[in-house]
Amino acid sequence: MNQQEYINAGKDRFLNELLDLLRIPSVSADSTKNADTAKTAEFVAESLRKAGADKVEVCPTPGHPIVYGEKMIDPNLPTVLVYGHYDVQPPEPLELWESPPFEPVIKKTELHPEGAIFARGACDDKGQMYMHVKAFETMMQTNTLACNVKFMIEGEEEVGSANLGTFCKENKEKLKADIVLVSDTSMIANDIPSIDVGLRGLSYMEVEVVGPNRDLHSGVYGGAVANPATILCKMIADMHDENNHITIPGFYDDVNIVTDSDRAEMAKAPFSVEDYKKDLGVNEVWGEKGYSSVERTSIRPTLEVNGIWGGYTGEGSKTVLPSKANAKISMRLVPGQNSVKISNLFKAYFEKAAPSYVKVKVTAHHGGEPYLTPTDSVPFMAASKAMEATFGKKPIPTRGGGSIPIIALFEEVLGLKSVLMGFGLDSDNLHSPNEKFGLFNFYKGIETIPYFYKYFAEANRK
Ligand code: BES
Ligand code: MN
Ligand code: MN
């Protein structure tokens, strides 16, 4: 059997296995799900063993375990290190799911006429990670594995990969490879293949604004004491100016400016602002003056409120002037910027901007650095040729808006570049209710990955 025949014969089984994986609620942020998260790690380990990997282990960490496995066929061949994550984002708000998040169903949609799997983690990243396991199985079973391969699948990506850096530092020899291959990003459309060549960095902050020493009756005290919720809203609103530039002093100082010719090149990638608005149900797009929607979500840094709370938010009404108000605010960073520096700038700004009638507290959560894949490199070309082989079209290099902080660390700690060959779509509802992953995308990924190994091995032949 050749690869395609093997994949065709295994289609239903591959899918059913993925559905089983999606049924385990590996929500890394939720400690009440720790047993399920551990079970998911075992599932992944077992699937690697069955696919033919050696030395498969579930490596404990102070947080969730890391799954490792390898197949070394020849020391003279290059080694691909596959990275992915088996943890998922919390599914809430549950009432907005059309079917329960951990009971996967297959439904057809406009963008996925062949059907899509609806479940938390379907695209990010269980479905995309599992493509690598099945592609590996296919290469093993058809005697076509062209490179050595190592798998490192973690369970803490969605909570900042706190323990993966240490794992890499402690296992440099074991993780020795020539390239990191990752499918945890998206492409433009099923008929417009693309490869992410950029990830943004991240600074994640939490702020608290404190007013009076206790909640107060809003009739008795309101109007005479500053309301921390009002102050917080004003402070947040002031962080963008009338051009939607971020007002934190020094915020843009280190931003690498993208040349006009590179911007012109980027603008050639198909993008319809009308379709974008329609998909999101907004009348107008918004953002930093002077930049397109694509640029605003790729080459420019941003600041977003991720959550805001304070006072009474339960059923009915309660007339209260809250003692405090809080927000979680994150900033996406671009090459040149450094997450520690930006977090410090934010803290200094927020503390200084606070009026004297409130106190503020600023804490930094996890962060991460931006990353760029060199497009004139052997691994990028191998990924490009692989997608061209299965899509019949050259993929367009694009820069994504999301972050995978560990990718910059792979370069720092392991000296390895990464290729981000993702098969999801931005509209697959990652982190949102009704997350999905197209069956077309799942199978296309499984077909494409072996070509990467083939072209990468050919280019590295010693
Ligand atoms: N897979 C995503 C990142 C992503 C998605 C990159 C789509 C490009 C396109 C990843 O799982 C993720 O969600 N990362 C987080 C950061 C993390 C520290 C929580 C993010 O981008 O918010
Ligand atoms: Mn992911
Ligand atoms: Mn994610």
Q: Last residue of a domain, which of 321, 349, 365?
A: 365
Q: Answer whether the bond into residue 301 is a cis peptide, omega within 30°.
A: no
Residue 212: how many other CB atoms lie within 10 Å: 17
Same domain, 210 and 182: no
Residue 422 Cα, ligand 3 centroid: separation in angstroms?
Answer: 13
Whole-model pTM?
0.95
Same domain, 241 and 317: yes
Ligand 1 contact, 125 CB (< 6 A): yes
Residue 17 Cα, ligand 1 centroid: separation in angstroms?
Answer: 24
Residue 280 lies in a domain: no
pLDDT 10s digits, 334-343:
999 999 999 9
Q: What is the amino acid identity at position 312?
A: Y
Same domain, 13 and 137: yes
Smallest Cα–Cα separation from 193: which of 456, 27, 414, 420? Answer: 420
Ligand 1 contact, 301 CB (< 6 A): no
Ligand 1 contact, 330 CB (< 6 A): no
pLDDT 10s digits, 170-183:
999 999 999 999 99
Is the pLDDT at 157 greater than 60? The verdict is: yes
User: What is the domain-level CATH number for residue 124?
Assistant: 3.40.630.10
Most ligand 1 atoms within 8 A of CB, residue of 83, 157, 432 to mutate = 157
Residue 271 lies in a domain: no
Same domain, 352 and 431: no
How many independent structural domains does the chain possess? 2
Q: Last residue of a domain, which of 340, 365, 390?
A: 365
Residue 268 lies in a domain: no
Residue 224 Cα, ligand 1 centroid: separation in angstroms?
Answer: 44
Find out whether 146 and 76 touch, Cβ atoms under 8 Å: no
Smallest Cα–Cα separation from 160: which of 369, 335, 415, 419? Answer: 369
The rounded distance, in Å, linking the Cα atoms of 7 and 180 is 24
- Which are the contacts of 33, defined by CB distance < 8 A and separation ≥ 6? 25, 26, 27
So what's the pLDDT on residue 462? 55
Helices and strands, number each (H, E), in the chain: 12, 20
Same domain, 143 and 215: no
Residue 431 Cα, ligand 1 centroid: separation in angstroms?
Answer: 9
Structure tokens at 421: 């060959």
Residue 267 lies in a domain: no
- Around 384, how many Cα atoms within 13 Å sit in the side-chain half-sphere? 17
The rounded distance, in Å, linking the Cα atoms of 69 and 152 is 7
Smallest Cα–Cα separation from 148: which of 388, 462, 453, 352? Answer: 453
Residue 65 lies in a domain: yes
Mean pLDDT taken over the chain = 97
Residue 230 lies in a domain: yes
Most ligand 1 atoms within 8 A of CB, residue of 85, 131, 158, 418 to mutate = 158
Residue nearest to atom 19 of ligand 1 (CA): 158
So what's the pLDDT on residue 366? 85
Same domain, 179 and 107: yes
Find out whether 408 and 165 touch, Cβ atoms under 8 Å: no
Ligand 1 contact, 202 CB (< 6 A): yes
Q: What is the DSSP string of 376-441?
A: TSHHHHHHHHHHHHHHSSPPEEEE-S---THHHHIIIII---EEE---EEGGG-TTSTT-EEEHHH
Same domain, 306 and 451: no
Same domain, 22 and 166: yes
pLDDT 10s digits, 18-75:
999 999 999 999 999 999 999 999 999 999 999 999 999 999 999 999 999 999 999 9
Give the domain extent around 383.
Answer: 3-199+370-459
Same domain, 117 and 43: yes
Most ligand 1 atoms within 8 A of CB, residue of 125, 403, 407, 421 to mutate = 403
Ligand 1 contact, 418 CB (< 6 A): no
Residue 264 lies in a domain: no
Ligand nearest to the CA of 405: 1
Structure tokens at 215: 């909640």
Q: Last residue of a domain, which of 365, 392, 416?
A: 365
Same domain, 219 and 344: yes
pLDDT 10s digits, 259-317:
999 999 999 999 999 999 999 999 999 999 999 999 999 999 999 999 999 999 999 99
pLDDT band at residue 409 under the 50/70/90 scheme: very high
Residue 422 lies in a domain: yes
